[in-house]
Chain A
Amino acid sequence: MMTTTPRLAALTAVLAALSVPAHAAEITVVGWGGTWDEAYKEGVWDVFEGETDHTIVMEEWAGELAKVRAQVQSGNITYDLVAAEAPSVEIGCAEGLFVPLSEEITGPADSYLPGTLHECGVASDTWATVLAYDKDAVGGTEPTSWADYFDVEAIPGKRGVLAQAQYTLENALMGDGVPADEVYEVLSTPEGVDRAFAKLDSIRDHIVWWNTTTQAVQNLSSGEVVMTDLYNARVTNEVQNEGKNWGIAWEAGFFYGTDMWAVVAGAPNEEAAIELVKWFSEPEHQAGFSRLYAYGTGRREAAEFVSAEQLEHLPSSPAHAPHGVEYDTDFWVENKEALEARFKAWLGQ
């Protein structure tokens, strides 16, 4: 006993020294990886680490809510803060996987753009799925509508299409002449769903399907396709940083969605993660990401901290916003399984 006690005391002292300052935490933040994560690190996390005692450990995922559910159910939680799609935040919040956030943390609700604040989440970024094309490959006729996208005679060449029902059925209906703001009305009826599938059928042999964003970018780069549906910032990123001669047909109509930061309930650093969300909710801090990556922010005032030139690339810019419609989270939460199963069955025919 005589020998162990001093050792124990020494150990405690060392541990105490290591954990000073008392509240410094290692917050595990789970993002979407790739260039998205790089922009977040440079524009947001590094600034946070500079201003506080906390450190950020970055991990990446593909938005699999199952991982959060499994961690919470097993009690072995490693994620503190995750970036999740709005439908996942909706489901996770209802299941009690995420911590509800008060206005004291997020700032006043009316300062947020529609759809960018949730009971359990603050917008990490607002992205749009746009019609992107290679200006050199379309041969002088640049597409201006989703009807052009489905017209393989006017503009020959293969089309890249995301291999899932969500997002793709919306584009198909726009291609069939449905105005963007009426898409969900049509898609809510069985005839509307048939109509979307029929439209996809019409160019079936001209489609190159993609599953990951990297594939979509690669297919457009290599000439496998002449145009593709893609997330807008990925297009801007390739144009700004890789010198690609690509265009976005904003006027064709586009849908936008919001990913959100959500704090995992019972996470080891739950308090620090909430502190991080509170810090991030300041307009200036939210703008840190949009300055580097052409996705929108939650709070309106954040736009004041983004350069006018970069604002033009965002889905929320005055030139683009009139063509955009928000993805219907509730529709997809209820219909996802049934429509994706039908989509997979159709793909396999």
Chain B
Amino acid sequence: MTPAVGVSGRRGERLLALLVLPALVFVLAVFVVPVARFLSLAVDNAELGLGLSRTVAALDAEPPAEGEVPGEAAFAALVADLAAARTAQQDALIAQALNQRMVGTRFLVIKTARDAARGEFAAPFKPAVLAAHPDWADPEIWRTIAANGGRLTDYHLLAALDLRRDAAGDIAQAPPEATLFRQLLGRTVWISVVVTAACALLALPLASAITAAPPGWSRVLFALVLFPLWSSLLVRTVIWIIVLQRNGPVNAALVATGLTDAPMTLIYTRFSLYLAMIQVLLPLMVLSVVSVMRRVPPSYMKAALSLGAPWFTAWRTVQLPLILPGLMAGSAIVFVFAIGYYVTPLLVGGPGDQMISSMIAFYTNRTLNWGLAAALSVQVLALLAAMTLTGLALRALARRSVPA
């Protein structure tokens, strides 16, 4: 006789699928599809590839000599492209895309498109356009248009890594004063690692206390840990500004006790950022660790100690491996949350403490460069995917190396 553990067989599978279906549809509809659509903007080149397709084709068919402005065909194609774009209200997007690749071309494109749509240019187009907008005589604009044709582009993905294509089309480093994103990514990962490690170190004794305390006390401690989770993130963050500012209580105490002569700069530093992030994320780590610790009988540690193991050895070889899954799960949650932090660094961090999400928000909200915002998001996603795979691989290796 088989024990009745759940429903088995094909019917069971179907039932299971039915149970999961609503969640699956929900996740697909409100998460996977929109996110994928946004991420696809990282390689989308509709503005230049489609919007200027005739111009790109004309430049391909008849490439201008090095340092020369192209001939009549390219100008005629440009006028046709821009007039069509203006009618479809796409000219501003083309102008933005071209301006990203060559600063100072935005209004040139918009004004030319306006004139083109009004039919102000007549053949021959080259002298007509150059007379009205002499800036088109810069061969660099035409080189930029020719180099950025095609439906897809790697421009944003490269830019997100401080790379660009040089005049010859080869991948090259961005000039030093414009390198930003690799440093930003490194900083984001470093801050997240430090916060995760600090949360783990703080959570272990706290979780031990919660599990070991008598039920009444345990509940009180647990509530204290959870309490910050129930208050607004913004409030929890802004409170640090008041506590740590120059005339705040911490500085007052430091000066009064003679530990420092003058108030210290505590707020808007990496230190205050760590404090605020750890405070917000610690409950998540404690929750994960406590849930695992509660399942480890206290008798295991007692047994190890009574058999003569020093306390730390007993903890390291008996307790730690048993709570490791909880610690790993907690670390994963804290790390993933930390990577996406944006408001906290903005409010309590200094300018050298900003994380990658702040740039994603900047490009999304401020300059409407959704291509670069998407490329940066792809970067973060790729990073998390790589870390997950590494974690899985390490776990598989660890399992294999355990002697049978």
Contacts and interface: CB of A to CB of B under 8 A. Distances in A.
A345 B183 contact: yes
Contact of A94 (B91, B183, B364): B91
B144 interface: no
Interface residues of A, number: 37
Contacts of A94: 91-92, 95, 110
Interface string B92-117: 11011001100111110010000000
Interface string A156-174: 0000000100000000000
Interface residues of B, dominant DSSP: helix
A34 to B, nearest CB: 14
A224 interface: yes
B246 A338 contact: no
B180 A209 contact: no
Interface in B350-368: 350-352, 354, 359, 362-368
A91 interface: yes
B93 to A, nearest CB: 7
Contacts of B267: 224
Max chain B Cβ within 10 angstroms of own Cβ: one of A94, A211, A222? A94
Contact of A345 (B92, B100, B103, B179): B179
B187 interface: yes
B177 interface: yes
A223 B268 contact: no
Contacts of B350: 209
Contacts of A334: 99, 103-107
Interface in B58-112: 89, 91-93, 95-96, 99-100, 103-107, 110
A218 B267 CA distance: 12
Contacts of B364: 66
B178 interface: yes
Contact of B359 (A209, A223, A330, A344): A344
Nearest to B350: A209
B92 A337 contact: no
B369 interface: yes
Contacts of B366: 64-66, 336, 340
Interface in A205-240: 208-209, 211-212, 215, 218-219, 222-224
A215 B347 contact: yes
Given A66-B365, A218-B241, A344-B180, A337 B354 contact: no
Interface in A290-349: 330, 333-338, 340-342, 344-349
A299 to B, nearest CB: 27
Contacts of A209: 268, 350-351
A107 B311 CA distance: 84
B403 to A, nearest CB: 48
Contacts of A65: 365-366, 368
A209 B350 CA distance: 7
Contact of A337 (B107, B177, B369): B369
Given A95-B92, A209-B351, A330-B107, A345 B365 contact: no
A346 B177 CA distance: 7
A33 B366 CA distance: 18
Contacts of A342: 177-178, 180
A41 interface: no
A94 B89 CA distance: 8
A96 interface: yes
B93 A344 contact: no
Interface residues of A, dominant DSSP: helix
Nearest to A347: B351
B92 A91 contact: yes
A69 B241 CA distance: 34
Max chain A Cβ within 10 angstroms of own Cβ: one of B92, B105, B346? B92
Contacts of B184: 344, 348
A66 B374 CA distance: 14
Contacts of B245: 218-219, 222, 224
B106 A348 contact: no
A348 B106 CA distance: 29
Nearest to A336: B367
Contacts of A67: 365
A30 B100 CA distance: 29
A333 B178 CA distance: 18
B186 to A, nearest CB: 10
B89 A95 contact: yes
A64 B241 CA distance: 25
Contact of B180 (A69, A215, A345): A345
A199 B5 CA distance: 73
A94 B85 CA distance: 12
Contact of B246 (A62, A215, A223, A330): A223
A199 B369 CA distance: 29
Contact of B187 (A219, A223, A341, A348): A348
A349 B364 CA distance: 24
Contacts of A224: 245-247, 267
A332 to B, nearest CB: 10
Contacts of A222: 245-248
B362 A348 contact: no
A201 to B, nearest CB: 12
A96 B110 CA distance: 12
B268 A66 contact: no
A337 B100 CA distance: 8
A119 B192 CA distance: 47
Nearest to A265: B89
A319 B183 CA distance: 47
Interface of B: 89, 91-93, 95-96, 99-100, 103-107, 110, 177-180, 183-184, 187, 241, 245-248, 267-268, 346-347, 350-352, 354, 359, 362-370
Interface of A: 62, 64-67, 69, 91, 94-96, 163, 208-209, 211-212, 215, 218-219, 222-224, 330, 333-338, 340-342, 344-349
Given A69-B368, A212-B347, A223-B246, 18 more contacts: A62-B365, A66-B368, A94-B110, A95-B89, A209-B268, A209-B350, A218-B241, A219-B245, A224-B245, A224-B267, A334-B107, A336-B366, A344-B184, A345-B177, A345-B178, A348-B180, A348-B187, A348-B352
